[in-house]
Structure 1
């Protein structure tokens, strides 16, 4: 593991702090008029999901942890647990369904997602950047409503509500950004 200075912390970095593994969610670099500069870091615990706000001065040393990433295939959900399989060794692991948070509906059967490990412990899972979904419900396009930034609400086949352009109808496939949960393009 590498030690980094407090001012080198970036969002997404995984740190070992207070005998736990934390991911930096938000980092603000503050330069007060009096005293030295510091980084105000909002962190989330990878094991239990608790949050912590911490100040790190540039002289503070922090342990930066490197997580191993493996592509694994989603098999099924069982009693609030998601079951994934390593496509090389065929080993199966279970992770709680809430590990994906509000992005959980975008997980599809057979989808390959990236799971991050620290030593042999699975800590995090991330979906592909874009997912294809089918529009199940939307309003019909209103004639003449072709303004550049006009959108209409739609419900996708996974139950998610997003805004789509007026030219897309029920039954058409669309590509959705999983990070922002917004329409990207027609599939």
Structure 2
């Protein structure tokens, strides 16, 4: 942790305030008619996600936290923990599955993920934009349905349900977005 003056805060920085960690979203310096300038800061609580507006005088000091974005390789699941390996040091890092929420099923062995660390502690994880998965179940095409008219329900090998074009059948490998499980294309 390092102290800095309030007027040095910038979007993307992480600070500690009243025992909580916040990401700075935006800041404005406001100069009132008389008196000292103040910094108006919009920030988001990292744990709760709640937004907060806070004002500081320019001379006030705040605690800035060290942040780093690093790539890790997903090794395996250990109960409620995701075990990641640093590709250069081969050190293992354990992260709670809660960090990914409903994107957890898209974590594939050997996948490279981006992890945001604050003071060395993982606080967020980003998956690649898309992943290749096998379709394990797909509804048959309804007679008379045209190829372009509508998507049909399918289940992916990670258990996630999605909608696929009529020509996709069980056993096909398809590319889906990790964000919302939407179909991109057939895997090459």
Same fold (TM over 0.5): yes
Segments of 5+ residues of structure 1 without an aligned counterpart are: 28-37
Number of the residue aligned with 2:35: none
Superposed counterparts of 1:131-150, under 5 Å: 131-146=131-146, 148=148, 150=150
8 Å CA contact retained: 2:148, 2:165? no
Q: 1:51 aligns with which of 43, 49, 54?
A: 49
Q: How many residues align?
A: 164
Number of the residue aligned with 2:95: 95
Give every structure 1 segment of 4 or more consecutive aligned residues whose post-TM-superposition deviation is greater than 6 Å.
Answer: 38-41, 59-66
Number of the residue aligned with 1:3: 9
Number of the residue aligned with 2:118: 118
Matched residue SS, 1:154: strand
Cα–Cα, structure 1 residues 70 and 125, in superposed 2: closer, same or farther, change >3 Å? same
Segments of 5+ residues of structure 2 without an aligned counterpart are: 27-39
Number of the residue aligned with 1:161: 161
Task: Return the alpha-carbon distance in structure 1 between the equivalents of residues 178 and 14 of structure 2.
Answer: 25
TM-score (norm 2): 0.73
Matched residue SS, 2:100: helix
Task: Return the alpha-carbon distance in structure 1 between the equivalents of residues 41 and 122 of structure 2.
Answer: 29
Task: Return the alpha-carbon distance in structure 1 between the equivalents of residues 179 and 131 of structure 2.
Answer: 10
Cα–Cα, structure 1 residues 14 and 102, in superposed 2: closer, same or farther, change >3 Å? farther
Q: Between Structure 1 and Structure 2, whose CA radius of gyration is higher?
A: 2
Matched residue SS, 2:135: strand
Cα–Cα, structure 1 residues 118 and 141, in superposed 2: closer, same or farther, change >3 Å? same
Task: Return the alpha-carbon distance in structure 2 between the equivalents of residues 76 and 168 of structure 1.
Answer: 30
Q: Cα RMSD over matched residues?
A: 3.0
- CA shift for structure 1 position 80: 0.8
Task: Return the alpha-carbon distance in structure 2 between the equivalents of residues 66 and 144 of structure 1.
Answer: 60
TM-score (norm 1): 0.73
Number of the residue aligned with 1:109: 109
Matched residue SS, 1:51: coil
Superposed counterparts of 1:67-86, under 5 Å: 67-86=67-86
8 Å CA contact retained: 2:155, 2:161? yes
| 176-185 or 163-172: bigger deviation | 176-185
